[in-house]
Copies of this chain bind each other. A is one copy, B any other.
Amino acid sequence: MAADNRPTLGIGMVGYAFMGRAHSQAWRSAGAFFDLPARPVMAALAGRSKESVAAAAHDLGWAAAETDWRDLVARDDVQVVDICTPGDSHAEIAIAALEAGKHVICEKPLANTVAEAEAMAEAAKRAAARGVHAMVAFNYRRVPAVALARRWVAEGRLGELRHVRAQYLQDWIVDPYFPLVWRLQRDRAGSGALGDIGAHIIDTAQFVTGRRLTGVSALTETFVKHRPLAEGSAGLSAGGAARETGEVTVDDAALFIGRFEGGALGSFEATRFAAGRKNALRLEINGSAGSLAFDFEAMNELWFHDHTLPAAEAGFRRVIVTEADHPYAGAWWPPGHGLGYEHTFTHEVKDFVEAVAAGRAPSPSFADGLRVQRVLAAVEASAADGSRFTAVEDAPRAGAAVPDAVYQTPEEES
């Protein structure tokens, strides 16, 4: 065998549902494609049910299983705690892990409330002083096309930003007989489409533009106010007209318009009622020198309009983001051989391991996660207050100068 003098990095993961499966694939794959400075070792998986967690650990490639996350955090062979549970447990686990000196990756949204997110950001700040790092897992930042979009915005290719148009459209609860799962209950999920998918477009938009939302005006709606109780609930069978229903206590859709620092306008929409749109995370940005457009349903493409070309030659250009010079793409396959959803997590692992091995803070930080949480809170506050324009707490002023402004209008020159 080849010698491998790299340090190892023991990983412990909590939760093994949708996100846990995705993260496992990432931990299993990253080292085969990226030249990592440390070798991740899939040490242990935690879950409540002894039998289930053992089976999952076996299937997903974890060396051991724990039934209490505290035991996982305490393991000597675990240096990183990867939190893949629902939002209501993030704060407790993350803070405990950080205090125990373990690096943390935490799924999004960072927490279910601003207060929890603040506590987590505070804990992350304290830990960082001791060289212990935390990252919130906004995986869409690691779509190569999204990372390329950020690069091009930062390079000034779009000039001064004017419009941000972001949508996250799904359709999995269009059917009113779809049952009342926990994601549709406020006490469990915090919010509905807003926190689940709205959080993604808020983070993606702020990441790509390098600018923060300063205030918002919002509407939210619950279209189907009662739904059948989920299987196993009390009540008659699904077929019966008398099947018992319960109240949906989260939003089905959230729309808001807002302002970014630097002056751009934003239009956002998150919904689970867009029939035919499966996972349409879309972002379009218009600037004075060009525009970008992205849709996750065609995740290997970034559309770029170069407004500095003569009008007769310009148009939106479909860049297939699989070239060696594109973010992340060089590690994979030849041009035109696209990546899929799970690669966003593999890239996340790669960036995280590189940062931690170098003693750098990985990105996005818990502070970034808190910033998204504050936008979510402003959206809910506005929606509850007649859509009144509501400032995002701690955000810069809308008109604040942004460092990379590359453009001047006539009055600014005088």
Residues of A within 8 A of B (CB): 1-2, 4, 18, 21-22, 24-25, 28-29, 31-33, 51, 54-55, 57-61, 64-65, 148, 158, 162-163, 165, 167, 169-172, 174-177, 217-219, 221, 223-228, 241, 245, 253, 255-259, 263, 265, 267, 269, 271, 273-280, 286-291, 296-301, 304-305, 307, 310-320, 322-326, 332-343, 382, 386-389, 408-411, 413-414
Q: Which residue of B lies closest to A307 (CB)?
A: B275
- Among A217, A273, A275, chain B packs the most CB atoms within 10 A around the CB of A275
Q: Which residue of B lies closest to A62 (CB)?
A: B1
Q: A162's contact among B29, B245, B253, by CB below 8 Å, is which?
A: B253
Q: A338's contact among B225, B263, B299, by CB below 8 Å, is which?
A: B299
Which chain B residues border A55 with CB–CB below 8 Å? 2
Which chain B residues border A167 with CB–CB below 8 Å? 165
A311 to B177, CA, bound (A): 16
A-B residue pairs in contact (CB < 8 Å), sample of 18: A22-B333, A158-B275, A162-B275, A170-B336, A175-B288, A219-B389, A223-B409, A225-B411, A245-B414, A267-B267, A276-B316, A297-B320, A297-B336, A312-B323, A312-B326, A313-B319, A332-B341, A388-B388
Q: Would you call B275 and A305 a contact (CB within 8 A)?
A: yes
A237, chain B: closest CB distance, angstroms: 15
Q: Would you call A334 and B227 a contact (CB within 8 A)?
A: no
Which chain B residues border A289 with CB–CB below 8 Å? 275
A218 to B334, CA, bound (A): 28
Q: Would you call B333 and A341 a contact (CB within 8 A)?
A: yes
A370, chain B: closest CB distance, angstroms: 24
Q: Would you call B25 and A320 a contact (CB within 8 A)?
A: no
**Given A267-B269, A275-B286, A342-B333 in contact, is the A314-B307 Cβ separation under 8 Å?**
no
Q: A316's contact among B221, B227, B318, B411, by CB below 8 Å, is which?
A: B318
Which chain B residues border A226 with CB–CB below 8 Å? 409-411
Which chain B residues border A245 with CB–CB below 8 Å? 410-411, 414
Q: Would you call A1 and B54 a contact (CB within 8 A)?
A: yes
Q: A257's contact among B25, B257, B316, B339, by CB below 8 Å, is which?
A: B257
A4, chain B: closest CB distance, angstroms: 6
A410 to B28, CA, bound (A): 44
Which chain B residues border A336 with CB–CB below 8 Å? 170, 277-280, 296-297
